Amino acid sequence: MRQIILDTETTGLSAENGDRIIEIGCVELLHRKLTGHNKHFYLNPERDSHEDALKVHGISNEFLRDKPKFAQVADELLDYLADAELIIHNAAFDVGFLNKELELLGRGPITQVVSNIIDSLQMAKELFPGKRNSLDALCDRLEVDNSGRTLHGALLDAELLADVYINMTRGQDALLMDVMDDVSQGASQERLDLSQFDLPVLNASEHELAAHDDVIKQIDKASGGQAVWRILENPVA
């Protein structure tokens, strides 16, 4: 599976009110592995950034004056994104800006180009309900080194999000991806008939049973007698 982690920086918060993209960063994953085949553009937005936006990304208006306009990189970007699954943190924001840029060129929305869009912010909210799920918070929680992130930058943020996404989905996808890696390397996958083996049943020893009973008692005490097995033993009529 080919996935692209994408991030943008913009002149402000509202594409509908004329704000534009000034930076696009893309990081490619192939079967969950970084390929190094990334894309990065600085863009001339043909307008100045708002003061608050400048404080976030630190990209000066002067720096962007001689950069290409979105129209000049659109074909290269869309060819790169074609048929990939996009992973974006707070996807509605970035997708809204991409769609507005494409609309200004008379083109259809980005969903006509890519296979799917995953919002990693929504994914994080489901995994960590009630907690902060900004990119910085997720880096801290998942032990992803973001010490080099003093300002927002599209490529750096995409690289960090790639690590965060891999960590968030490791439990779901690791086994599947290992199999896919084997297949991609030409390894044969044969079904093993377990009926030919005499599999022994190993009973727990007295020591192991005592240790298990001790853990159960600790859990029962900590839950105030509300452990699941207590409820099942004494169901409410």
Domains of the chain: 2-184 (3.30.420.10), 204-237 (no CATH)
Assess whether pLDDT exceeds 90 at residue 174: no
Closest CA to 161 of 188, 184, 133: 133
Assess whether pLDDT exceeds 90 at residue 91: yes
pTM over 0.75: no
Of 27-41, 76-90, 218-232, give the lowest mean pLDDT range.
218-232
For the chain, give the number of residues: 237
pLDDT band of 181, cuts 50, 70, 90: low
* Average pLDDT score, the chain: 87
Closest CA to 63 of 50, 76, 44, 39: 44
> Angle at the Cα of 5 (from 149 to 118), degrees rounded to 5?
120
> Is 152 annotated in the active site?
yes
Assess whether pLDDT exceeds 80 at residue 190: no
CA distance 188 to 176: 15
Beta bridge partners of 34: 29
Contact 24, 77 (CB under 8 A): yes
Q: What is the pLDDT of residue 106?
A: 98
In the chain, % of residues over pLDDT 90: 66
Distances (CA, A) of 178 to 30, 31, 91, 184, 185: 12, 9, 28, 10, 11
Of the residues 40, 57, 152, 212, only one is catalytic, namely: 152
CA distance 18 to 32: 36
